[in-house]
Amino acid sequence: MDEKKKKIVKTIKIDVDKCNGCRACEVVCSAFHATPKYSSNNPARSRIRVIREPLRDVYLPVYAGEHAKAECMGRDKYVIDGKEYDECDFCRASCPSRDIFKEPDSGLPLKCDMCEDDPPQEKPLCVQWCVNDALTYEEREEEVEEEVKLEDVEIGLESMVDKYGLQRVMDTVARMAKKD
Amino acid sequence: MRYAETGYNLEIDLSRGNIERVQTDPRLTELHLGGLGTNAKLLWDRVPADVEPFSPDNLLIFSTGLLVGTPAPGANRTIISTYSPQTLLMGYSMMGGFLAPELKYAGYDKLILRGKSPNMVYLWINNDKVEIRDASHLRGKGAVETAELIRQELKEPKAQVAAIGLAGENRVYMASIEQGRSSASRLGLGAVMGDKGVKAIAVRGTKDIHIARPAEYMQLCNDVLQYIKVRAPNLIPEVMPILAGLGSPQEMLHTDEKWHTENFMWGNARVRRKDFWNKEIEEKWKNALETVRTRLISCYNCPMKCGAIISAPGVSTYMMKCFSKLTYTMAAFVDDLDFGFRIAQRATEYGVDGFSTPQAMAFGFELKEAGILTDADFAGCPSDNEGKFYWLLDRIVRREGIGDVLANGTYWAAKQIGKGAEDYAHNNIKKHEQLPLKLGMLNPIYFLMYSTGEKLNITQIEGNFPQAPFSTMEVREAFVEDWIQAPDEKFKKYVLDWELRGERSMPFYPPVDACCEIVDWQEKMHHIDDALGICAGLSSFPLKPPYHIHNLPAFISAATGMDMDEAGLTHIFNRNRNLVRAINVRRGLRRADEKPPEDHWKKRFPELEEKLLDAYYKFKGWNHEGIPTKEYLHELGLDYVAEDFLRRGILTDNEGTPSTSAKTEKK
Write the pLDDT tens digit of every residue in B290-303.
999 999 999 999 99
- Mutate which: B150, B152, B160, B206, vs A, most A CBs within 10 A: B206
Cβ pair B71:A41 closer than 8 A: yes
Q: Could you give the CA distance from residue B629 to residue B618 in angstroms, rounded to a whole number?
A: 10
- Mutate which: A18, A20, A88, A133, vs B, most B CBs within 10 A: A20
Higher pLDDT, A150 or B532: B532
Residue B40 lies in a domain: yes
For residues B181 and B95, the answer to whether their CB atoms sit within 8 Å is no
Cβ pair A38:B228 closer than 8 A: no
Range of the domain at B640: 439-648
3-state secondary structure of A102: strand
**Bond prior to B510 in cis (omega within 30° of 0):** yes
Domain stops at, among B389, B418, B433: B433
The answer to whether the predicted template modeling score (pTM) of the entire model surpasses 0.90 is: yes
End-to-end CA separation in angstroms for chain A: 39
The mean pLDDT value for B29-49 works out to: 98
Residue B209 lies in a domain: no
Torsions phi, psi of B597, nearest 5?
A: -55, 140
Residue B103 lies in a domain: yes
3-state secondary structure of B169: helix
CATH number of the domain bearing residue B319: 1.10.569.10
Nearest to A131 among B228, B299, B318 (CB): B228
Kindly state the DSSP code that residue A49 receives in the 8-state scheme.
E
Same domain, B401 and B458: no
Same domain, B402 and B477: no
Nearest to A31 among B207, B218, B316 (CB): B218
Write the pLDDT tens digit of every residue in B461-515.
999 999 999 999 999 999 999 999 999 999 999 999 999 999 999 999 999 999 9
Residue B223 lies in a domain: no
In this structure, which amino acid lies at residue B614? D
Cβ pair B294:A57 closer than 8 A: yes
Same domain, B521 and B606: yes
Q: Mean pLDDT of all residues in chain B?
A: 96
Residue B350 lies in a domain: yes
CA distance A24 to chain B (A): 4
Burial B207-223 (b: 16+ CB within 10 A, else e): bbbbbbbbeebbebbbe
Domain stops at, among B189, B204, B219: B204
In this structure, which amino acid lies at residue A64? A
Same domain, B302 and B414: yes
Residue B87 above 90 pLDDT?
yes
Same domain, B508 and B554: yes
Same domain, B289 and B374: yes
**E strands present in B391-505:** 428-429, 432-433, 439-441
Same domain, B329 and B394: yes
Same domain, B412 and B466: no
Q: Could you give the CA distance from residue B412 to residue B431 in angstroms, rounded to a whole number?
A: 8
H or E element: which one contains B496?
helix B489-497
Cβ pair B211:A131 closer than 8 A: no
CA distance A53 to chain B (A): 8
Q: How confident is the model at residue B45 (pLDDT cuts 50, 70, 90)?
A: very high
The mean pLDDT value for A118-142 works out to: 95
Q: How confident is the model at residue B665 (pLDDT cuts 50, 70, 90)?
A: very low
The mean pLDDT value for A61-65 works out to: 97
Q: Could you give the CA distance from residue B340 to residue B255 in angstroms, rounded to a whole number?
A: 14
Domain stops at, among B204, B222, B245: B204
Same domain, B517 and B634: yes
Same domain, B394 and B450: no
**E strands present in B205-254:** 209-210
Q: Which range, B90-104, B232-246, B653-667, is most confident?
A: B90-104
CATH number of the domain bearing residue B561: 1.10.599.10
A98 contact B CB<8A: no
CA distance A105 to chain B (A): 9
Residue B242 above 90 pLDDT?
no
A35 contact B CB<8A: no
Cβ pair A54:B225 closer than 8 A: no
* DSSP output for B328-396: HHHHTT---HHHHHHHHHHHHHHTB-TTHHHHHHHHHHHHHHTTSS-GGGGTT--SSHHHHHHHHHHHH
Q: Could you give the CA distance from residue A170 to residue A161 in angstroms, rounded to a whole number?
A: 9
Residue B218 lies in a domain: no
User: Which residue in chain A has the smallest CA separation from B213?
Assistant: A39
The ipTM is: 0.94
Give A132's contacts in chain B (Cβ within 8 Å): 303, 305
A117 contact B CB<8A: no
Same domain, B422 and B371: yes
Nearest to A31 among B71, B206, B305 (CB): B71
Same domain, B495 and B348: no
CA distance B77 to chain A (A): 13
Give B129's contacts in chain A (Cβ within 8 Å): none
Write the pLDDT tens digit of every residue in B173-230.
999 999 988 999 999 999 999 999 999 999 999 999 999 999 999 999 999 999 999 9
Residue B655 lies in a domain: no
Residue B275 lies in a domain: yes
Q: Which of the residue ranges A149-153, B105-109, B153-157 would you say has the lowest mean pLDDT?
A: A149-153
Report the domain count for chain B.
3
Kindly state the DSSP code that residue B657 receives in the 8-state scheme.
-
